[in-house]
Every structure is written in structure tokens, then in C-alpha cells.
Amino acid sequence: MQCTLELARLRAKLGGKIRREAERQRMAKNNASRVVAITAITGLLILLGFALGTARIRGHQTSASTATRTLFSNDPVTYFIAEGNRNTGYRPGDRELALWAFQAWQRSAGKGLRFEPASESSALIQLRWAEPGGGEYGETQPLIVHGRRGAVVFIRPDVEALGPVIARRAGADDLLRDSIVYLTCLHELGHAIGFEHTRDFRDIMYYFGYGGDVADYFGRYRAQIHTRSDIASVSGLSDADVARVRAIYAQE
């Protein structure tokens, strides 16, 4: 009888161990399945997110390029450069600096981008000289001209807006002052023809919000010119700036 009871106890104990081991294996198998499933789902979500992100990027680039081509197509881009008020720091020669900025973009773009002067009421790109007291030294805003999209560019000719260090240097060096006005025109016209800011300090489309020494930025260009007329031939555009404008406007 005692042997029978001991045998029963052993069987029960062994059965419990077997059941516990089976349950452990079952749970391990389920956990492994969950891990595989979670990993697969996570992988799919990552791939889906990457695909959607890539689609957004490609869509943005495509729409931007298409919009620019639609805006200016193969027709000449009409422009108007306003006269300024001398009380705001404007100088009569500033219109020539703005003209050289238009010409620099045209030379770099190739045959696909041509600027042509027009009256104020019909010009697609209108460059104006801003009064002191505004927020930015240069600004570009969208404009509709006879049903077509264009842009109005505002340039502040008073270098005082850039701070006392640059203002002091520009006050003692007319070529630095003209370099600043010219480069600002060049930058804002870049926006007008479809380009966003970049993070590369070498680019004319560089945004100072990313950091960088403003005085060094303008001084780098100033070091390349010896007379005011040099500005007409020293574009101030980086290789990347030129590559971007040619990618959109250059014709085969």
C-alpha cells in the first residue's frame, strides 16, 4: 500500500514537472512568435515610413521644379528694379548692383533662364528698396502679375541693419558696402526664381540661422574684388548654387 502511494506521488510529481516543462516550452514558443511578429511588423513600419518619407521628398522636389518651370517656362522673365530713397541709405548705383545680380543668375543658368526689363505693372519679378525698421535685411514675397506667379524682392540698402561691426567696416570701405548690397540682391533673387535656403556656408542661398560669421561671409566675397566693376563678373555663386540653377533651367 505504501509503495502504491509512493508510486502515485512520484507519478504526480513527474506529471507536474512534465506539465510545467510543456507550459514553459509553449510560452517560450509563443514569446518567440511574438518577437518574430513584432520584428516583422516593426520592419514593415520602418520600410513604410521610409517609402512615405522618400515619396514626400521626391514629391516636394518634383513639385518645386515643376512649379518653377511652369512659372517661368521658356519665356523671358520680366523684371523691374525700382528707384530708392536716399534717406534710407540707398545710393543711385544700387540699381546697377541689382542688375548685376540678375545677370549673374542668368549666366549661371544657361539658356533656360532669360531676364528682360519691363514696366513695374507687368514685371514678374519686382525689386524694391525697403525702408529701415523692417525685420529682415532682405525679403522675398509671392506676387501675382496678370494671373501669373511672380515675386517681389525687398532689399534694405542701409547696412546699419547688420549690426555695428559690419556697419563700421562698410562705412570705411565702399566696396564692402556694395558687396553686401549685391550679395543680398543675389540671395533674394535666388528665392524669387525658386530656391530655398541651404546649410552650406559657401552657398549664396546659405541661411545665417544655421550659424556662421556674417562678417566673414561678406568679407570672403569682398576679398575677390578690387574695383566696383569687378562685381559684374565675380558672381558670388558657389558650385552648388550653379549646379542647382542649371538642373532646373539649363536646356540641352
Which residue matches cell numbers 502504491? 4
Q: Which of 27-31, 57-61, 145-149, 183-187 has the highest mean pLDDT?
A: 183-187
**Model confidence, pTM:** 0.72
CA distances from 54 to 51, 58, 59, 66, 68 (A): 5, 6, 8, 18, 21
Q: Where are the domains of the chain?
A: 1-72, 74-249
Assigned CATH topology for domain 74-249 = Collagenase (Catalytic Domain) (3.40.390)
Q: CA 189 to CA 183: how far, in whole Å? A: 10
Q: What is the mean pLDDT of residues 188-193?
A: 97
Q: CA 101 to CA 231: how far, in whole Å? A: 9
Q: Are 221 and 236 in contact (CB under 8 A)?
A: yes
Residue 71 confidence (pLDDT) above 60:
no
